[in-house]
Structure 1
Amino acid sequence: MTALDVVVAIVTYKSADLAVACIRSIEVERAASKLAISVVVVDNVSGDAAVIGQAIANNHWGSWVKLVVAPRNGGFAYGNNVAIGEAARMGPPRYCHLLNPDTELRSGAIDTLVSFLDQNATVGIAGSSFENLDGSDWPIAFRFPTLLSEVESGLQTGMVSGILSRWVVAQQMGKSAEPIDWVPGASMMVRWQVIEKIGGLDENYFLYFEETDFCRRSSQAGFQTWYVPASRVMHIAGQSTKVTERDAKIKRLPAYWFESRRRFFATTYGLSYAMATDLAALAAHGVGLLKRLLLGRGHEAVPYFIRDLWTYSVLRPGNRRAAIKDNVGIDSAAGNVRVSNG
């Protein structure tokens, strides 16, 4: 057994105050736990380092919190791979906990995930349940996206959604632990053997779909992913990107969301399937938009979604090569960024 049980990886971009509050919640967890827990904070060149470094010094966290300034802002996957590389040099630990800076642990959140994984050797990834800032529940985990889930998402009609319910991506979860395709990277505990077997996150995803892809590759390697609601984490969604803020006005999605979506479908299912998916999605979203306009609910549609989906679609020949370039992962033994095809 290594000296460290858990290394918590926090990637921050212009969220220093939130990251400090997150670390403070980990401090409380450490004090109540018998686990050896350390933290690696990666600043993705946002200017957060000075504020976080000062907080580490002022609170005497230096013995268990390490601050790393990334060489560049390579996105969420890249920043977490930097943290995973540091974790490898620190032990490595038994588990690596990916944790967003805009989260705060509730009592026993880390212990619960570790205990679950200790008792279930076939499970490689365990995710927490979430609560919003006001304390309300957000008990959601996810199925892998497919062509049929894209059709359901575009049409969003009661009859079609009922027929395609098996393929709806976002799932309302219950009060008991259960297997699921993927869990949010906002609180994802990863068994170190998963990283040794499949590498780190694919850095071709700047943001979004990287944890979906990681859970998929973990599943292909023989590891299960479970949702563990007894581990509870408060999450203020979308604080860095402003894309996934809950209850906010619907915004146009950034280019990197469409690029990540394109890569996931192309690398997961192949170019032919990805092209068929885009055709189906364009048609479904076109019908769905027309329905909303006729019902006077055009404001509920994501702005410019169909135009942007076409712009970044693999139906356009120039987008295909970018969609299937090599996965960039991490060599957990050396802690170096490298190519690691899943």
Structure 2
Amino acid sequence: MKIGIVVLNWNGLADTRECLESLKQINYDDFFVTVIDNGSDNYEAQKIKDDYGKFAEIISLPDNLGYAKGNNLGIQQALKQGADAVLLLNNDVTTVEKDFLGHLAKKLMVSGIGIVGPKILYYHKKDRVWFGGGDFHWWTGLVFHRGEGELDNPKYGNEKKATFITGCSMLVKREVFEKVGILDEEYPLYWEDADFCYRTIEKGFDLWYVPQSKIWHKVSQSVGEGSPKRTYFATRSRFIFMKKHLSKFQWIIFSIIFTFYKIPIKIFRSIINGNITNLNSFFKGIIDGLKYKIH
């Protein structure tokens, strides 16, 4: 199985270098790497090309096109080069085990499976799980990482079917792109991976978590965990997703739970933590998500 690895860089030169150094050590034979530089400052694209031009193809974009559009360019490039599968890999995944790609490829070869994802651990807390498989719950409008924050243990050591694989690291079969399409560019940031997984399942493919494959992730390096920007885009994109995919009945249930459970909790936590700016971003995300017209 020929695999194209797509790494998106945006002002993350140090992390991208670590990521590429780690990829150079893997023991899978048939792969190639494409780095999409999303309009970074300080000549980062050229610096990456100078250091890794023989190992990876570097595509430099004049502007930041966002996560979905940037990755889509990489996906299309990989498919043009004959990839049987494409691995989307965040540049802040700075450590991978040498055999991580082989384990993913082996599982993806099983008939009916469209997307697989590895066990992802925190880079700075190497024994703690960040992603041990994932699920989407429409009634809360949330995607869940199994085991997030827990110490790694045998409970997360078994392969398991999932309804969500994080775009931090997902290996996607070529057939999925041919039948489902690429990432939806209506999501400028966040939820594009959940949307892609949802559409993949709708087309009859299965998603699997493969814990034999292990990587380590510097969580939220690009935007910042809990930042107003992250809160705004995550909330806005959640509402775009829900409007796009939920039935009328599901939308009513989601709206009730969100209004009488999620919003009061968000207000309470923001006041306690003195983070009113974050609260403003939350409500702006709701309003803009509701106003957004699905194309």
Whole-angstrom distance in 2 between the partners of 1:189 and 1:38: 13
- Could you give the per-residue CA deviations for residues 271-309 of structure 1, whole angstroms, max 9, x where no partner exists? 77446534431321344357669xxx922x975566444
For 2:6, the equivalent position in structure 1 comes to 9
Unaligned stretches of 5+ in structure 2?
Answer: 148-154
Give the structure 1 partner of residue 232 of structure 2.
255
Alignment pair present for 1:324 and 2:294 = yes
- What is the aligned residue count? 282
- Residue 170 of structure 1 corresponds to 145
RMSD: 2.6
Q: Distance in 2 between matches of 1:127 and 1:44?
A: 24
> How many percent of aligned residue pairs carry the same amino acid?
23
Structure 1 pair 272–212 and aligned structure 2 pair: CA distance change class (3 A): same
Residue 165 of structure 1 is matched in structure 2 by none
What corresponds to 1:45 in structure 2? Answer: 39
Matched residues in 1 for 2:268 and 2:182: separation? 42
Instruction: Show the counterpart of 1:288.
Output: 265
Quote the offset at 1:117 in angstroms. 1.3
What's the secondary structure of 1:41's corresponding residue? strand
Structure 2 length as normaliser, TM-score?
0.86
Deviation at 1:204, TM superposition (A): 0.9
Q: For residues 118-157 of structure 1, what are the structure 2 equivalents within 5 Å?
A: 118=109, 120-134=110-124, 135-138=126-129, 139-147=131-139, 149-150=140-141
Segments of 5+ residues of structure 1 without an aligned counterpart are: 154-167, 244-249, 326-342
List structure 1 runs of 4+ shifted beyond 6 angstroms.
none
Deviation string, structure 1 residues 75-127 (Cα, Å, up to 9, x no partner)? 11111100011112212x11100001011211201011001112x11110000
**What letter matches 1:143 in structure 2?**
D
Please state whether the residue corresponding to 1:284 is helix, strand or coil: helix
The offset of 1:234, in angstroms, is 1.0
- Partners of 1:126 and 1:302 in 2: how far apart? 37
Q: What residue identity is the alignment partner of 1:311? A: K
Q: Residue 144 of structure 1 contacts residue 181 of structure 1 at CA under 8 Å; is this kept in 2?
A: yes
From the superposition, tell whether residues 108 and 256 of structure 1 become closer, same or farther in structure 2 (CA, over 3 Å).
same
Query: Which structure's CA Rg is the greater one?
Result: 1
SS at match of 2:239: helix
Task: Give yes or no for contact 1:123–1:226 (8 Å, CA) kept in 2.
Answer: yes
- What letter corresponds to residue 10 of structure 1 in structure 2? V
- Per the normalisation by structure 1, the TM-score is 0.75
Q: What code does the residue aligned with 2:45 have? A: A
Quote the residue 1:340 is aligned against.
Answer: none
Q: Alignment partner for residue 89 of structure 1, among 80, 90, 101?
A: 80
